[in-house]
Amino acid sequence: MRIHFRFGLTRKKPRVGDRRTTKKHGEQIRVFRMIRDIHGLITGYDCTGGSQKYDWVPLADAEKHGVGYCLTAEEKAALKKNRDGSV
């Protein structure tokens, strides 16, 4: 009997704050998927099947989803400038 061990590259686990860039939506950041009740209030995190679920949101919505700490100082300044209406 022969036993073969294969060592390959391991896949990086998803984490809050990961980033991606798409042609359609631009730069996005990964956030926890939240569960809401019938009134729209957040009741907790979606951990269906024993694993945490995530969503992708635009950088402009990062503060609203509670991951503003993942943004750099330059990104925060640019978002604030865009929010205030000055160009």
The predicted-structure confidence for 19-36, as pLDDT tens digits, reads as follows 999 999 999 999 999 999
Total Cβ atoms within 10 A of residue 60:
15
> Model pTM?
0.75
Direct distance between the N- and C-terminal alpha carbons of the chain, in angstroms, rounded to an integer? 70
**Mean pLDDT, to the nearest integer, of 49-60?**
92
3 state SS of 74: helix
Pairing of strands 34-36, 26-32: unpaired
